[in-house]
Structure 1
């Protein structure tokens, strides 16, 4: 039996069920919560204050990896901040770790994506920070739009149809992929439909977290039903 440790915002009600549905039966999920109710810059910055303590708690369950399943807290301070956060988690837990933002960057490179359209649940300010983070990492964001939400419980109550609608709205001919950002925003169940309609890969930040965790654990069996990325599982390159 393998174990994934997941650090999530306290008000996130979506990422755990989406993980459960996609994970193979021999892998279990174990979560720790970091206090956050509002997707605003001050709240996002503070979410990592308790991160090391909760990472150590997860390590005590003998998890194999620890993932920060929160997108905005891992891109908030720009280029390289996701790696800084990963290093803090690894130092505290002694486990291989990653963040939602790091996983997204790696997934885009894995699929050979250079140009993307970005959809998110965030307001204009946070969505702008997400766009800048992606561009600083070498990707061209050809279109970006957010739902304008700040209250995280409100995000968690959205139907997955909102992700489908926004993906359709932001798609452009020059976008090689669609990115749907925010792990509290239901989207996993519509990824296949969006890919069929638009004819291109669709990445959600929950999906890329699952992909990154499984790769770090050398779990390489393809997972169907949640987009091209999880059907393309392959071991992570070793240093």
Structure 2
């Protein structure tokens, strides 16, 4: 029997739209990033080279080296993403506000059509929400957490309280209950929001319940990264009940 291609009928394939993601070598939460991604957007992942040191200032500094970030950006451009995201909180705040801006510029110079970093996305998100005082939860040792506090201060954001878990490795193994406990401990009445740092900390399922519990926005590293990258594409992230997603409408065309 001759094959008739007309017998196979299906919807037209949507135009390909994607986000290039530059992630640290130990990033383990690819699936979590996808949960903020609309069905018609793909993620193109690449990882930075392995750095044989624990999660310290030295590791974060190595991960923000412009030469390796430029190369990773070039590597992820092959499938023609419409935006590129540097998905690492510590690597993007470790050199301060100016270092974050230089990192973003390095990605643009490498050919990214638009570029966002996790820490830059956090500042963008806080501005969008009109928030200037926050509480911070991190998995880091104090020397790394202190760099985040300084970075935010340089952007006019006051950290009214912070707690670090003191982890040097295997951050992706932190459980939801540990994160909930840390948020409960760090929240203060004067904090207008809580930020949970590190793209290797899983948070998707607990953001909305935490926001209902404390009555204020809960921002997380992966959430702000994805919202920012999608906004650059004129799109809105998926995240039912999440404060930032609800107000983070794509800019008007």
| Same topology, TM > 0.5 | yes
Q: How far 1:165 sits from its partner (Å)? A: 1.1
Structure number with greater Rg is: 2
Structure 2 runs not aligned, ≥5 long: 1-15
Structure 1 runs not aligned, ≥5 long: none
Q: TM-score, normalised by structure 1?
A: 0.93
Match of 1:187 in 2: 203
Match of 1:227 in 2: 242
Q: 2:146 matched to 1:120?
A: no
Whether contact under 8 Å (1:161, 1:190) holds in the other structure is no
Q: 2:22 matched to 1:7?
A: yes
Match of 1:75 in 2: 93
The root-mean-square deviation of aligned C-alpha atoms, in Å, is 1.5
CA deviation profile, 1:202-238 (whole Å, cap 9, x unmatched): 0001000010011000014x63336210122223489
Q: 2:222 matched to 1:206?
A: yes
Q: 2:74 matched to 1:56?
A: yes
Q: 2:36 matched to 1:31?
A: no
CA deviation profile, 1:17-48 (whole Å, cap 9, x unmatched): 11112211100001110134632111211113
Three-state SS of the structure 1 residue aligned to 2:96 is coil
Rounded to whole Å, the distance in 1 between the matches of 2:112 and 2:43 is: 18
Whether contact under 8 Å (1:33, 1:54) holds in the other structure is yes
Rounded to whole Å, the distance in 1 between the matches of 2:143 and 2:79 is: 37
Aligned residues: 234
Q: How far 1:137 sits from its partner (Å)? A: 0.8
CA deviation profile, 1:72-102 (whole Å, cap 9, x unmatched): 1111111221111000011012421010000
Three-state SS of the structure 2 residue aligned to 1:93 is coil
Q: 2:81 matched to 1:66?
A: no
Query: Which consecutive segments of 4 or more residues in structure 1 shift more than 3 A?
Result: none
Query: Which range moves more in the overlay, 63-72 or 45-54?
Result: 45-54
Query: Which range moves more in the overlay, 91-100 or 192-201?
Result: 91-100
Q: TM-score, normalised by structure 2?
A: 0.88
Q: 2:164 matched to 1:146?
A: yes
Rounded to whole Å, the distance in 2 between the matches of 1:225 and 1:97 is: 25
Match of 2:187 in 1: 171
Rounded to whole Å, the distance in 1 between the matches of 2:247 and 2:129 is: 9
